[in-house]
């Protein structure tokens, strides 16, 4: 039997007619959406998720609820919901919000479902619908994630870009900010010791005098202080203390922020016996925290990539060559070059925008945090030798 492909004249004509009819049906269905279906769309557009059985339409009296089934083509399962809650498809939501078009109508649509679930996701969405979302710098990582979505739904392109920038930077804090929950209280003495160690001030200090003092502290820190260790039994809150200290400085003006890298050594991707893995993670975080230093960081990124490629070649040759000692020496030499280059990179990070009486201040603290250090010790003290 001869096979006939779509390229045959008969089938090509048939497929063309079918495509034309499909396009016509799609256009017709878009134009002929019933008022009842729009009423349910409007009600669902102001809800992050809902149960179809209890959804009430906006501006339409459907006492029997028979028209809820008309919403089936417009919904998908709500992400992360185990009890089959639904949410509108993004394009349907955007069009519905555009048609509503005003905060007054948003509020009226919300009022159609007074018993709606008010979790954190929904409450933040309602703040956006009211035109009063929290300031970007006050949002945590999760709230920024949600707000990027909300601004997209509302068609606020300029706000979306600002949120995406803040979201990328805040992604570093997402590594630990969940540790410093709202229930974290006290520890003021320990926080004060950390501020004094790094030469930064309490974020609550906002006077010109306190700002000048911080600039002077940064300028005076011309020598690297010795490492500081936070010790205590498991569960006492060491990580939470660090998280609070780092998170509180996210909320200050950019000129008063300090760059840092937070390395949780219980992350299997970070191997203390291979410090370049730590340097790679430091670089990733710095690129997010200091987007204005892209050229410097990109230069080092290229160097780090070359090092990784060269190291892989040297390791392979070392495993197969009789002159393993020589190959190991080459690897160690290349590692030391990388470490010195990384140190020079950190020394080049200026205080972005921080200016004193004589111009821009070039001394700003960089903090390297090694959390869950006991994890590295448990794996074997000999693995810590490359860090010494």
DSSP 114-135: TT----HHHHHHHHHHTT-PPP
Do residues 139 and 166 lie in contact, with contact meaning Cβ atoms separated by under 8 Å?
Answer: yes
Whether the pLDDT of residue 143 is over 90: the answer is yes
241 HSE (CA, 13 A, CB side): 20
Share of the chain above pLDDT 90, in %: 27
The β-bridge partners of 355 are 360
Q: Is a pLDDT exceeding 90 seen at residue 88? A: yes
Q: Which of 84-98, 119-133, 139-153, 229-243 shows the lowest mean pLDDT across its residues? A: 229-243
Task: Give CA–CA dist 287/172, Å, rounded.
Answer: 10
For 352-359, what is the mean pLDDT?
42
The Cβ of residue 86 has, within 10 Å, a number of other Cβ atoms equal to 19
- Number of CB atoms found within 10 A of residue 53's CB: 7
Residue 165 CA to residue 255 CA, distance in Å, equals 17
**Does residue 106 surpass a pLDDT of 80?**
yes
Mean pLDDT confidence for 128-149: 92
pLDDT surpassing 50 at residue 4? no
DSSP 161-200: HHHHHHHHHHTTGGGTGGGS-TT----HHHHHHHHHHHT-
Q: What is the pLDDT of residues 295-340, one digit of tens each?
A: 888 889 999 988 888 877 776 665 555 556 666 677 778 888 888 8
Residue 80 has pLDDT above 90, yes or no: no
Q: Give the range among 20-29, 133-142, 181-190, 266-275 with minimum mean pLDDT.
A: 20-29
Q: What is the pLDDT of residue 27?
A: 42
- Residue 347: pLDDT band by 50, 70, 90 thresholds? confident
User: With bands split at pLDDT 50, 70 and 90, how would you rate the model's confidence at 357?
Assistant: very low
Of 48-62, 156-170, 239-253, the range with the lowest mean pLDDT is 239-253
- Report pLDDT for 274: 85
Give dist(CA 103, CA 105) in Å, integer: 5
pLDDT at position 28 is 39
Say which residue, 202 or 268, is predicted with more confidence: 268
How far is Cα 354 from Cα 218, in angstroms, rounded to an integer? Answer: 10
Per-residue pLDDT at 57: 92
Give percent helix, percent strand, percent coil of the chain, each to the nearest 5: 60, 5, 35
What mean pLDDT comes out for the span 224-232?
80
Asked if residue 147 lies in contact with residue 139, where contact means CB atoms within 8 angstroms, the answer is yes
| Mean pLDDT, the chain, whole residue set | 79
Is residue 90 within 8 A of residue 153, CB to CB? The reply is yes
């Amino acid at each position: 039997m001869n096979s006939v492909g779509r390229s045959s004249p008969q089938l090509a004509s048939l497929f063309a007619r079918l495509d034309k009819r499909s396009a016509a049906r799609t256009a017709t269905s878009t134009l002929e959406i019933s008022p009842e279906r729009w009423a349910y769309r409007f009600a669902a557009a102001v809800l992050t998720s809902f149960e179809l059985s209890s959804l009430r339409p906006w501006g339409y009296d459907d006492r029997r609820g028979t028209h809820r089934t008309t919403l089936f083509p417009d919904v998908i399962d709500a992400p992360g919901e185990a009890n089959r809650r639904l949410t509108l498809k993004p394009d349907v939501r955007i069009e519905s919000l555009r048609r509503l078009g005003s905060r007054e109508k948003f509020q009226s649509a919300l009022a159609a479902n007074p018993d709606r679930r008010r979790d954190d996701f929904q409450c933040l969405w309602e703040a956006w619908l009211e035109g009063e979302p929290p300031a970007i710098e006050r949002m945590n990582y999760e709230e920024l994630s949600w707000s990027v979505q909300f601004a997209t739904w509302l068609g606020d392109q300029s706000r979306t870009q600002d949120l995406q920038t803040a979201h990328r930077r805040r992604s570093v804090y997402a590594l630990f900010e969940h540790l410093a929950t709202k229930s974290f209280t006290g520890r003021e003495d320990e926080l004060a010791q950390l501020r004094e160690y790094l030469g930064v001030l309490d974020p609550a200090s906002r006077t010109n005098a306190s700002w000048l003092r911080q600039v002077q502290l940064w300028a005076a820190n011309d020598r690297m202080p010795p490492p500081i260790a936070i010790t205590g039994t498991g569960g006492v809150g060491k990580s939470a203390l660090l998280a609070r200290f780092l998170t509180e400085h996210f909320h200050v003006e950019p000129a008063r922020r300090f760059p840092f890298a937070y390395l949780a050594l219980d992350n299997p991707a970070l191997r203390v016996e291979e410090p370049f893995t730590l340097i790679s993670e430091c670089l990733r975080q710095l690129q997010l925290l200091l987007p204005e230093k892209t050229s410097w960081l990109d230069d080092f990124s290229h160097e780090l990539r070359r090092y990784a490629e060269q190291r892989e070649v040297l390791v392979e040759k070392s495993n197969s060559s009789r002159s393993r000692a020589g190959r190991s020496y080459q690897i160690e030499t290349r590692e030391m070059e990388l470490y010195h280059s990384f140190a020079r990179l950190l020394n080049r990070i200026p205080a972005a925008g921080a200016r004193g009486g004589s111009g821009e201040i070039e001394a700003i603290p960089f903090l390297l945090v090694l959390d869950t250090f006991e994890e590295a010790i448990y794996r074997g003290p000999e693995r810590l030798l490359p860090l010494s």
